[in-house]
Amino acid sequence: MSRPEPLFPLFADLETLEGVGPKTARALETLGVTRPKDLLFLLPHSGVDRSRKASVRDVVPPCVLTVEVEVGAHLPPRSKGKPYRVLVRDAELEWALVFFHARGDYLQKLLPTGQRRIVSGRIELFDGIAQMVHPDHVLRLEEAGALPAYEPVYPLTAGVTQRVVARAVEGAVARAPDLPEWIDPNLKAREGWPDWRAAVAAVHRPHGAAGLALTDPARARLAYDELFAHQLTLALARVSLRKAKGVVTRGTGRLQARVLDSLPYAPTGAQKRAVAEIAADLAAPVRMNRLLQGDVGAGKTLVAFMALLIVAEAGGQGVMMAPTEILARQHHEGLAPLAAAAGVRLELLTGRDKGAERAAKLRDLAEGRIDMLVGTHAVFQKDVAFADLRLAVVDEQHRFGVAQRMELGAKGRAVDVLVMTATPIPRSLALASYGDMDVSVLDEKPAGRKPIKTVMIAAARIEEVVAHLARAVAEGRQCYWVCPLVEESEVLDYASAEARFATLRAAFQNQGGGDVVGLVHGQLPPAEKDAAMARFQRGETRVLVATTVIEVGVNVPNASIMVIERAEIFGLAQLHQLRGRVGRGAAQSTCLLLYQAPLSEAGERRLTTIRDTEDGFRIAEADLEMRGAGDLIGTAQSGLPRFRVADLERQAALMAVAQSDARALLTMDPALTSPRGQAARGLLWLLDQDRAIRLITVG
């Protein structure tokens, strides 16, 4: 399957474009431009009004002016360093063009006295007289048509000017062929979008500021093309994963019933729905590839355990993977009582397992005596073999991309995959990162969870907060106190964890001495960290002073107060995760956001958002609006595609349309052989998604 011929000119060398030499080509690479087709998607970010005026009198300097003038006298500088002036006269007024370090003979040729020229540039008043320093354009009357009334302004890099980029873009646009249409005709008509080639020409020749807006039909169309190509790639990946035959796994319900009977509460409607969706996937003859998305404390662990039980009931094995050892241990502790109730064997495998003990576990695993394994990436090692691995549950902290999802599939014959994420992701981003997966959402809190009372308090009132804590601790309650940094730093007045630990210990002296307060921070060796956490979990320490190491997954039901110091410097998602550490038991929980006044506008928006809602999805949408997609997931490891035209924050609705269109097209035409399917292949080539084309296996 090779690149369609009409696209060849767009994939030629940059130097085949007029005015682009080796040096310019190298400079353009830093803008992500390596072939003519990349220039089509290098869109102008602003524009300059170059519409013709009759005279300086028609504008209010300083501003850009385009006007026809008659060239008058040349006034060369009288001494070194002074400017060269050329007097000109428009329809009503005489004024001057000013040049520094210019050669007289060059200016005589450019602006011959007595002739008429079009000049365009920034006009300013100097001692009450209008002057234009170094005009951007000086044109003969017959060349005036070359100057657009609204000139697009492109992103630049060292070594290229606006004129060079504009000329290169023009050359690339001239090469754009007429391509057959890949957009669904009804959608195109409804949105009023132009054809592809017309859209490319239009975005580079905007008729004013409206032509630069995301809502401009030509821009919206190119953004949609990009999202559609991306969703088509994900949909093809999904189809190729599903082509891999799955194992049909049907549970008997026997073990699940035992566990449900042992629980003090009934599962929520959302949990039951998710378990049913997973059970249906497991029973189907195709591979499962599902994302379980749930807010802090929505009960994802129970759903995942039910899925593992279905596999155990059918005689298979399941594995649950966590990104870190501390989380793997915690999952193991959390699941142990459930496994005991069901009567299944659950083991933990991490990098710490060594020697005979490890060998015994691996033997039992290979011979099928272990039903469920919890572990870190250690479960991927060569010597780890399963008797009958059917399901992998991945507890995901954005470290598990499409590639790893495929790698997991290689471990068993056709392992079903369930990815859990505790970060509620706005729909548009979920589609961008997980468009190849089916999604189950847990959007209800388990019964008995009381809302957490969240309060903003200025740091000046810290004494009151400590007094409030002392009373709560005397009543037997536990509390987290989160600090922003570990080291005492001269520059930053953050109360370090060490200093805060000392002041709180002093404050609680009369309540049983120094053992009431514990400390956990990033510089502690792992064993000490685990020990400090364990003491807090057992209730030996009442107050845990910590840096953000506690945000992930720690479960202490008796902890009902969360104090976050310098809350304004934390991100929304982090604040939401931290607050989710309390509110897990029966007591009414509170979260105190201590902030340094005065708050910045963004800081205030973040804190009030957290105070006013506990809905992780609403918080994530607000976070996306405020920070943008890359920061939300940390661009480096987000695996988020980088879009050149589309804007994930503001064109979320287009992404959803693109996904349903891509899936619909593949349902009707799985091999993309229809005329529209062939056109879509052309789009995939054009946008460098040719990897996806290899996923289309014929038949």
Q: Are 147 and 120 within 8 A, CB to CB?
A: yes
Residue 278 lies in a domain: no
Among left, alpha and beta (phi > 0; psi -120 to 50; other), residue 528 is alpha
Q: Is residue 200 part of a domain?
A: yes
Strands (E), 484-584: 517-520, 543-546, 559-564
pLDDT per residue over 79-98, tens digit each? 888 889 999 999 888 899 99
Residues 96 and 173 in one domain: no
Kindly state the percentage of the chain with pLDDT values over 70.
85
Mean pLDDT of the chain: 82
pLDDT at 646 over 80: yes
Omega of the bond leading into 62 within 30 degrees of 0 (cis): yes
Domain end position, chosen among 97, 117, 147: 147
Task: Judge if 398 and 341 occupy the same domain.
Answer: yes
Under a CB-based contact definition with an 8 Å cutoff, are residues 214 and 650 in contact? yes
Which of 125-129, 171-175, 487-491 has the lowest average pLDDT? 487-491
CA distance 695 to 223: 24
Last-in-domain residue among 587, 613, 639: 613
Work out the pLDDT band at 634, boundaries 50, 70, 90. very low
Distance separating alpha carbons of residues 96 and 209, to the nearest angstrom? 30
CA distance 433 to 402: 9
CATH number of the CATH domain containing 128: 2.40.50.140
- Same domain for 504 and 367: no
d(CA 308, CA 370): 12
pLDDT of amino acid 158: 82
pLDDT of residue 428: 62
Q: Give the residue-averaged pLDDT of 665-682.
A: 91
The region of weakest confidence among 56-65, 207-216, 397-406, 453-462 is 397-406
Q: Are residues 57 and 42 in the same domain?
A: no
CA of residue 675 relative to chain centroid, distance? 34
**139 - beta bridge partners?**
118
For residue 374, is it within any domain?
yes
pLDDT value at residue 514: 52
> How confident is residue 632, by pLDDT bands cut at 50, 70 and 90?
very low
Range of the domain at 84: 51-147
Asked whether residue 32 falls in the same domain as residue 64, the answer is no
Q: Does residue 448 sit within a domain?
A: no
The answer to whether residues 609 and 570 touch, using CB atoms and an 8 Å cutoff, is: no
> Whole-prediction pTM value?
0.63
Same domain? For 18 and 112 the reply is no
Question: Nearest-CA neighbor of 396 among 375, 412, 414, 419?
Answer: 419
Grouping H, G, I as helix, E, B as strand and the rest as coil, residue 435 is coil
pLDDT, mean of residues 53-59: 86
d(CA 304, CA 299): 9
- Kindly state whether residues 396 and 348 are assigned to the same domain: yes
Which residues, in sequence order, are CB contacts of 604 under 8 Å at separation 6+? 568
Cα 365 to Cα 349, 358, 383, 408, distances in angstroms = 11, 11, 11, 17
How many whole angstroms separate alpha carbon 137 and alpha carbon 163?
Answer: 10
* pLDDT range class, residue 490, cuts 50, 70, 90: very low
Eight-state DSSP code of residue 212:
G
Question: For residue 438, which phi and psi values (nearest 5 degrees)?
Answer: -90, 150
159 pLDDT above the threshold of 70: yes
Q: Count up the domains in the chain and report the number.
A: 4
Cis peptide before 4 (omega within 30 of 0): no
Handedness of CA 631, 632, 636, 642 (dihedral sign): negative
Is the per-residue pLDDT at 637 higher than 80? no
| 513 band by pLDDT with thresholds 50, 70 and 90 | low
Kindly state whether residue 40 falls inside one of the protein's structural domains: yes
Q: So what's the pLDDT on residue 168?
A: 92
Same domain? 561 vs 518? yes
- Extract the tokens encoding 66: 């385009």
Does residue 586 belong to any structural domain of this protein?
yes
Asked if residue 617 lies in contact with residue 439, where contact means CB atoms within 8 angstroms, the answer is no
Do 465 and 583 have their domain in common?
Answer: yes
Residue-wise pLDDT tens digits, 254-267: 899 998 888 888 88
Asked whether residue 238 is domain-assigned, the answer is no
Which tokens is 196 given? 């592809």
CA distance 325 to 348: 10
**What CATH number should be reported for the domain holding residue 349?**
3.40.50.300
Q: What are phi and psi of 404, to 5 degrees?
A: -70, -30
The answer to whether 164 and 24 have CB atoms below 8 angstroms apart is yes
Contact residues for 664 (Cβ-Cβ < 8 A; gap 6+): 184
The predicted structure's pLDDT at residue 512: 58
- Degrees, nearest 5: CA angle 568-572-576: 110
Per residue in 514-561, pLDDT (tens digit) is 578 888 876 777 778 778 887 888 888 888 888 765 545 567 778 888
Q: For residues 143 and 461, what is the distance between their CA atoms, to the nearest angstrom?
A: 71
- Long-range pairs, 483-490, Cβ under 8 A, ≥24: 483/545, 483/546, 483/547, 483/565, 483/566, 484/547, 484/565, 484/566, 484/569, 484/570, 485/547, 486/521, 486/522, 486/523, 486/547
DSSP SS3 for 580? coil
CA distance 663 to 233: 10
Within this chain, do residues 63 and 40 fall inside the same structural domain, yes or no?
no
Q: Label residue 639 by pLDDT band (50, 70, 90).
A: very low
Does residue 492 have a pLDDT over 80?
A: no
In whole angstroms, give the CA distance from residue 247 to residue 243. 12
Neighbours of 414 (CB within 10 A): 17
pLDDT tens per residue across span 559-593: 888 999 888 888 777 788 788 788 777 778 889 99
Does the CA dihedral 11-13-18-20 come out positive or negative?
positive
Looking at the predicted structure, is the pLDDT value of residue 631 above 50?
no
Same domain, 472 and 343: no
Query: 613, 643, 678 — which closes off a domain?
Result: 613
Q: Is residue 86 part of a domain?
A: yes
- pLDDT tens string 349-389: 887 888 888 899 999 999 999 999 998 877 777 778 888 88
Does 41 lie in the same domain as 58? no
pLDDT reading at 186 higher than 70: yes
Q: Which of 671, 639, 678 is nearest to 230 (CA)?
A: 639
Contact residues for 216 (Cβ-Cβ < 8 A; gap 6+): 202, 203, 206, 210
Please give the average per-residue pLDDT across 237-249, as a whole number. 73
pLDDT value, residue 551: 45
